[in-house]
Every structure is written in structure tokens, then in C-alpha cells.
Structure 1
């Protein structure tokens, strides 16, 4: 059987626990982000309920779940924040909170690494590079 015909295993979305896990992670994650003086200013004018729903939908797609994302591109969605000074140090803080959130929720280290690699892969788009 060729590689193209091989059946793929469960997606990261399925392996971390699906919708319930993504929802829990986003809620814990934004709690950490909003308490962090390094990055919370970027959310001062943000409807956090709407923002959380956007991130839940985006993470679902990024982690291989159902694609119901209709939001703006990462570049467009973060352009205002880039104008406010969003840079690599802020992205690093977000990555730190994502990892800590997943650890707190007892996600296995290999899945945390896989999720971090996916988030890292879009750094340039988010930062407008």
C-alpha cells in the first residue's frame, strides 16, 4: 500500500479529547493571559467571550477537528495588535501560557509538543512577517 493510501491515525484534536478539551484549554489559557502584565494590554478592548469562541474554533481546525472557522486570517486578525507593538516576546509569552495550560490539564508531553509546533508554525502570520 502506498503512503497516499494509508489510513491516518486520530488527529491531535481527537487525541487531546476533542471539543471538551479544547473548550477547557481555551478557558484556562485566557485566564492566564489576562493575568499576565506582559500581554494583557492587547485584550483591553476585546470581547473575551467572542474571542474565546474564535480561538476554540480556530484551535479545533488547527488540531485537525471539524472546520467551522469563518474568521479573518491570522495576519488580518492580529494586524491591529502588531501596530500596538505585538512582537516575538509577546508570542513567547502566549506559547508559555499554552504549554502551562496543557500541562495543568494533564495533556501528555508529546501532545503538548505537537500543539506547540503547530502554534509555532504560524508565528510569522500572526506577527505579520
Structure 2
């Protein structure tokens, strides 16, 4: 059995560290913070940990809402989606995730762009 990205990067603790760093970055970004007003951040963080763990091959299946439905009310712009992606990529890299693993995780995120932006 091949080693998963999830195991290679350090499992749940590493994913939680990345997600916390990611949300710190997003919430400090004045372009993005408005999307999170009134949101239950602990719940969002938990869903993001679950999502990243899942796409990294961890022993977790993402059980959150359908991506299109979960984001439809936010009217997210493409520029803001891309800015969130930059924050996630930086959080991954700055917390020790290797280039190939960052690329694999970001490929999964980019695959969700159209549904999140309501295009499909």
C-alpha cells in the first residue's frame, strides 16, 4: 500500500495546523473577511479539516454540503476564489507540505472552482 499525502504530511495534527493557518490568513484578508461574517468558524474549520484530509487520502470522507449548494448564497467572484486558493497554497507550503503534495491538493481545490462559482 502506498503512503498517502495525509500520512506523509503528518496526519490530522498537520491538517489542523494548515487549516488554522489558512483561516487566519483568509480572515485577515479584507477582500475575503466579509464572506465569513456571521459564520460559525469552528464548524467551518472542522469541515475544512475534513475536506483537506479527504483529498489528501486520509481516513476521512467529506460529509459537508454539496459545494455548489454550500457556496451559492455567497456570490463568490473568481478573483476571490483565486485569493482563497493562494492562502491555502501558502498555508500548505509554509507548514512543510512538499511541492508535489501541494500540487495534488490544489488540483482537487481547483476542480471545485466551477461548482463553487455556480458554473456547473
Q: What residue in structure 1 maps to residue 95 of structure 2? A: 105
Q: CA deviation at 1:99?
A: 1.2
CA deviations 1:10-48 (Å, max 9, x no partner) are: 222222221111111000000000000111100011111
CA deviations 1:74-128 (Å, max 9, x no partner) are: 111111112xxx1210111011101111121121122111111111111111111
Per the alignment, do residues 41 and 22 of structure 1 end up closer, same or farther by CA in structure 2, a change over 3 Å counting? same
The answer to whether the Cα contact below 8 Å between 2:9 and 2:96 also exists between their aligned partners in 1 is no
Q: CA deviation at 1:68?
A: 4.1
The 5 Å alignment of 1:23-102 reads 23-82=16-75, 86-102=76-92
Q: Distance in 2 between matches of 1:33 and 1:109?
A: 21
Q: Distance in 2 between matches of 1:11 and 1:74?
A: 24
Work out which of the two has the higher radius of gyration on C-alpha atoms and give 1 or 2: 1
Structure 2 unaligned blocks of 5 or more: none
Q: What residue in structure 1 maps to residue 106 of structure 2? A: 116
Q: TM-score, normalised to structure 1's length?
A: 0.85
Question: Aligned-residue CA RMSD in angstroms?
Answer: 1.3
How many residues matched? 119
Q: What residue in structure 2 maps to residue 22 of structure 1? A: 15
